[in-house]
Amino acid sequence: MDHGLTGLLLTHGSYALLFVALMAGGVGLPLPEDIVLLTGGALAHLGVVKLPVVIGVCFAGVLSGDLLLFHTARKLGPGIYEKRWMKELLTPERRTRIAGLYARFGGRVIFLGRYMFVLRVPLFAMAAVHGVKTRTFLLWDALALSLSAPLLVSLGYLFSHSIDRVASGLGHAEHVLAIVAVGLLAGFLLVRTLRARRAG
């Protein structure tokens, strides 16, 4: 766990600092989103901030960072693929595969992308480059975030005395969330397909 970041947030914690840290992390700066969310919960447990308010602030901070990344990628267009950090994350084969997912499922890929820590930034950037509408991006990102943000802030609140152990288990938790998200998406697509066949 990033003790420097956690110590800074716990010592100088405020709604504004949490919001800025999450927004900066959303555009790719090395400020782990999950740690900031957990720390927000710990601050609520300490009485520095109020739990319902900090959940809202964290939700807004993450969503704002994602939206800033989305519009930056849209402005850069395909040229973003020439950036060194993007080349490292997205090989040509992986990019082709993700482009196929967007062509087939559209904005629903964004819902899953929120739970994929390593690919979250390039997936969101690709959404902008491939013409996903802003309102579509916000809808699917907000739906996914409405599950993850309250969960992580609440975990930080409930287990603030052992926040290091909670953070160390986040990798497993993200895998579980991704599996659940895939299951929900598969169920949604199955129901829609069955309805379309009945209507036809």
Task: Give pLDDT, residue 169.
Answer: 46
d(CA 83, CA 129): 14
Please give the biggest Cα pair distance in the chain: 61
Higher pLDDT, 187 or 111: 111
Model confidence at 64, in pLDDT bands (50, 70, 90)?
A: very high
For the question of whether the overall pTM of this predicted structure is more than 0.85, the answer is no
d(CA 10, CA 130): 39
Length of the chain: 200
Structural domain boundaries of the chain?
3-199
DSSP symbols for 32-95: -HHHHHHHHHHHHHHTSS-HHHHHHHHHHHHHHHHHHHHHHHHHHGGGGGGSHHHHHH--HHHH
Q: What is the pLDDT of residues 162-196, one digit of tens each?
A: 655 544 544 444 444 444 555 555 555 566 666 76
Residue 30 is given by DSSP the state S
